[in-house]
Amino acid sequence: MAEDVGSKIPKVLFPVVGMFLFKGPSTLFREILVSNLHCAMTRKALKTLEPGRQVVDDLYTSTDSAGKDACLRPHKAAMIPADDLYATGRGPIPEATISAIRKDFMGYADEVLKIYCPMWCDNHWFLVIVDLARNRFVYLDSLRSPIARSKRHRLSRRLAIFLDDLLDDRAWHANEDTDKIECSEFEITEPNVTQQLPQSNDCGVFVAQWMIMYHLFYDYDVETFQLVTDYSRMRLAIDMVLKYHNDNRMETIEAALRYWRSFSVTP
């Protein structure tokens, strides 16, 4: 039973959970497998991690929650949810949404070193990292396009202006004497990153990997973890479900074990 597992989940269960996530009955697509204060990921959403599929934005909200528990907080990183970034082009964002960003995702701007902003443009994910420690706007794109580049850069500049407007409010600063942060004046850098195959839809997992693993590297020109593989997709799904940030992890293990037992032949 799942309650026998204990706080540290044995790796022997990983294949069982993986099989359940990606091959379980379609009638359970709406079943919530990852639950936290910020989002509830269904198995249907997690299945977008399958090779060749485009991931959904809930993945990044859940990734941020996992990261905050596991590694992001000590490194002073924050994220602005993709849904709220979409809204930058649709007029003013409600004050309640802004308060939620500050409280649940970002904290005080003068206590943060980096802000992660997953960006969506014409069926493609790319990542903008606002590096407050170095006053840089870092643009990471796993599928560069001469045609789409100008539009993606315009979205990035719009994000910078949005952040300027957001940080005009002194409530975003822990210290009253903190200098005003002007993101629109930051230098824009575009490091060389590994490029994906055009039809692979690896861009979403590429962004998620950067958000999770940035703390391992000082610079952005790193290729060791940028390649997206079947393993990295599966590992991301397993980590999302089984790490301790997920309130539903024991229920998910129990469901996976029931599914696995359904293949057993009772003597």
CATH number of the domain residue 69 falls in = 3.40.395.10
Q: How many helices (H) and strands (E) does the chain have?
A: 9, 7
The span from the CA of 179 to the CA of 181, in Å, is 6
Judge whether 190 lies within some domain. yes
Question: What is residue 141's predicted lDDT score, i.e. its pLDDT?
Answer: 94
Pairing of strands 125-131, 114-120: antiparallel
The CA-atom distances, in angstroms, between 54 and each of 15, 43, 57 are: 23, 15, 10
Question: What is residue 112's predicted lDDT score, i.e. its pLDDT?
Answer: 83
Judge whether 266 lies within some domain. no
- Among 189, 232, 200, 238, which Cα is nearest to 213's? 232
Domain count of the chain? 1
Mean pLDDT per 10-residue run, the chain (267 residues)? 56 87 72 66 83 81 53 49 51 66 74 86 91 90 94 91 85 82 91 89 89 64 69 86 80 88 72
Question: What is residue 24's predicted lDDT score, i.e. its pLDDT?
Answer: 79
Question: What is residue 77's predicted lDDT score, i.e. its pLDDT?
Answer: 58
Question: What is residue 75's predicted lDDT score, i.e. its pLDDT?
Answer: 41
Residue span of the structural domain in which 72 resides: 2-261
The CA-atom distances, in angstroms, between 127 and each of 13, 60, 98, 138, 146 are: 32, 11, 21, 8, 17
Question: What is residue 7's predicted lDDT score, i.e. its pLDDT?
Answer: 56
Place of tokens 């990734």: 63
Judge whether 118 lies within some domain. yes
Question: What is residue 91's predicted lDDT score, i.e. its pLDDT?
Answer: 55
Judge whether 267 lies within some domain. no
